């Protein structure tokens, strides 16, 4: 029987971006450097030495981009604010020119019928705070973040209803502090968990401040969630999947929504001597903050089998293990994963050209699991397909593979709505092509092609892709054309 449930009339059909990936203009109008401005210049860290100095020049072309959003019929646009545009040194004087850019962007969006969705932190910490305090490893950055949040809440709170605190905390802490593939270029798992805890405290602080200053707004974190499956029905594999979900998802989500860390994972980290220090004041702060929704960034999940080793009997011996080795590639290093689960390939799933699994059913599973655990509305803040798009001589991009991907995932989202899960909206990643962090400009996600590549900024001309016109029809029909 076909479901009669339709997408809600106020459903926010949207798309997303992030400041460093699109804006360019790294020193314009008094902007200070971020850790990405610095990190991307380190030889060998990014593909072909790509960086965000120009990006797709959204800073100077935002009006053109907003007009394209209006023509598409977009209902919402998620973007991030570059902290160092607002406060160049992170915790000092306010840069009014930088703040005005976002005031103007919000006004332009609203004038074109597009709901702004503002992300406070999408990985670009002011470099001055990294130099002065050691970045997220210092509790002093919490106060600096709160000061920055207060500035933008007071200036934009009356015009922006939806706010995101942190984008993919699980990603930027792991890649930045465990694997040294993002800034601040650290490879130390103990420092990773310590920094992650401080980010949790900053998140709670921001949410509490927001509820005081913007009582009619809604705020929540955006989390990179992926459900983890057991490889087989072997109970050992099932237990490994429970472990993996708590390690990969609940370690962050439980803190956001309940103010507590999962007991099993905390015990494992304590066994290894890498658990964060949580004070009674920390515990009280984390429990006091209540997000209004959960931002879901979904690309794929994972599959696991039973772990490769068991918890050693003499746990005290583990406290002196060098955490650098634990985070490295040493085959004999004892990592949390080795005690909890072992990741394997899923033979039932196709992959993108970049090797990411494609699992739209997992999207529906994610909605169900998140809502049943936390009973909060869900806002899809990222979902999309990165691919090698080709611009034809007629300036067209025939990205039927992206259309198929988005259609499958939106049908899964509709399945979640049919199941009774409240979903605020869907912001596809991304509106225009952009800098794909370490992957340069040739890994494209956008509805709009931007004429540039890794080695040449070219004209930066915008060309709507086939997926742009497809999404335009989906929005106009309130999702009815997804069945076509």
Q: What is the mean pLDDT of the chain?
A: 94
280-327 pLDDT, tens per residue? Answer: 999 999 999 999 999 999 999 999 999 977 655 434 333 333 333 333
pLDDT of residue 146: 98
Q: Spell out where 308-451 has E strands.
A: 342-344, 350-351, 357-358, 378-382, 423-429, 448-450
Q: Please state, in angstroms and rounded to a whole number, the distance separating the CA atoms of residues 266 and 252.
A: 12
Q: How many CB atoms lie within 10 A of CB 263?
A: 10
- Active site residues per annotation: 382
51-103 pLDDT, tens per residue? Answer: 999 999 999 999 999 999 999 999 999 999 999 999 999 999 999 999 999 99
> Which band of pLDDT confidence, cut at 50, 70 and 90, is reported for residue 243?
very high
> Which band of pLDDT confidence, cut at 50, 70 and 90, is reported for residue 334?
confident
Residues facing residue 302 across a β-bridge: 228
Q: Name the token pair of 330.
A: 């040493």
The candidate with the shortest Cα–Cα distance to 86, out of 160, 22, 167, 149, is 149
> Which band of pLDDT confidence, cut at 50, 70 and 90, is reported for residue 483?
confident
Class of domain 12-483: alpha beta
* CA distances (Å), origin 472, targets 63, 97, 345, 373, 417: 19, 34, 35, 34, 21
Residue 276 DSSP one-character state: P
* CA distances (Å), origin 208, targets 204, 211, 291: 6, 5, 9
| Dihedral sign from CA coordinates of 447, 449, 450, 455 | positive
Q: Please state, in angstroms and rounded to a whole number, the distance separating the CA atoms of residues 412 and 367.
A: 9
Residue 4 has pLDDT above 50, yes or no: no
pLDDT of residue 310: 64
Phi and psi angles of residue 12, each rounded to the nearest 5 degrees, phi first: -90, 95
Please state, for a pLDDT cut of 90, what percent of the chain lies above it.
Answer: 92
129-186 pLDDT, tens per residue? Answer: 999 999 999 999 999 999 999 999 999 999 999 999 999 999 999 999 999 999 999 9
Stretch 2-21: mean pLDDT, rounded?
86
401-460 pLDDT, tens per residue? Answer: 999 999 999 999 999 999 999 999 999 999 999 999 999 999 999 999 999 999 999 999
Q: Please state, in angstroms and rounded to a whole number, the distance separating the CA atoms of residues 478 and 473.
A: 9
């Amino acid at each position: 029987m076909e479901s009669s449930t339709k997408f809600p009339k106020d459903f926010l059909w949207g798309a997303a971006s992030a400041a460093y990936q699109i804006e360019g203009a790294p020193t314009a109008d008094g902007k200070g450097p971020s850790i990405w401005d610095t990190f991307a210049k380190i030889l060998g860290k990014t593909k072909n030495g790509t960086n965000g100095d120009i990006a797709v020049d959204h800073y100077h072309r935002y009006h053109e981009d907003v007009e394209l959003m209006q023509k598409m019929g977009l209902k919402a646009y998620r973007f991030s604010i570059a902290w160092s545009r607002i406060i160049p040194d992170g915790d000092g004087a306010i840069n009014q020119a930088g703040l005005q850019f976002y005031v103007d962007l919000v006004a332009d969006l609203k004038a074109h019928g597009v709901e702004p969705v503002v992300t406070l932190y999408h990985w670009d910490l002011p470099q001055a705070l990294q130099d002065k305090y050691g970045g997220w490893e210092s509790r002093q950055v919490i106060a600096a973040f709160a000061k920055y949040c207060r500035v933008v809440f007071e200036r934009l709170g009356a015009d922006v209803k939806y706010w995101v605190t942190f984008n993919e905390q699980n990603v930027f802490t792991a890649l930045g502090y465990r694997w040294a593939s993002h800034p601040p270029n650290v490879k130390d798992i103990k420092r990773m968990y310590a920094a992650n805890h401080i980010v949790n405290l900053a998140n709670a602080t921001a949410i509490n401040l927001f509820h005081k200053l913007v009582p009619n707004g809604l705020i929540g974190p955006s989390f990179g969630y992926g459900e983890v499956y057991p490889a087989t029905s072997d109970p050992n594999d099932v237990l490994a999947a429970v472990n993996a979900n708590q390690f990969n998802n609940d370690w962050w989500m439980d803190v956001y929504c309940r103010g507590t860390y999962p007991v099993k994972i905390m015990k494992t980290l304590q066994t290894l001597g890498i658990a964060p220090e949580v004070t009674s004041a920390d515990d009280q702060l984390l429990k006091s903050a209540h997000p209004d929704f959960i931002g879901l960034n979904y690309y794929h999940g994972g599959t696991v089998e039973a772990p490769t080793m068991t918890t050693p009997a003499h746990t005290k011996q583990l406290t002196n293990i060098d955490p650098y080795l634990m985070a490295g590639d040493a085959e004999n290093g004892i990592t949390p994963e080795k005690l909890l689960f072992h990741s394997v390939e899923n033979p039932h799933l196709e992959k993108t050209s970049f090797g990411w699994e494609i699992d739209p059913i997992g999207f529906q599973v994610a909605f169900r699991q998140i809502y049943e655990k936390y009973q909060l509305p869900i806002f899809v803040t990222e979902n999309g397909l990165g691919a090698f798009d080709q611009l034809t001589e007629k300036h067209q991009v025939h990205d039927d593979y992206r259309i198929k991907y988005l259609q499958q995932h939106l049908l899964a989202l509709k399945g979640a709505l049919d199941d009774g899960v409240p979903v605020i909206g869907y912001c596809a990643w991304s509106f225009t092509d952009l800098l794909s962090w370490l992957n340069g400009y040739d890994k494209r996600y956008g509805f709009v092609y931007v004429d540039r590549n890794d080695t040449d900024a070219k004209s930066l001309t915008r060309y709507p892709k086939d997926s742009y016109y497809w999404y335009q029809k989906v929005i106009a029909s309130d999702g009815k054309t997804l069945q076509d």
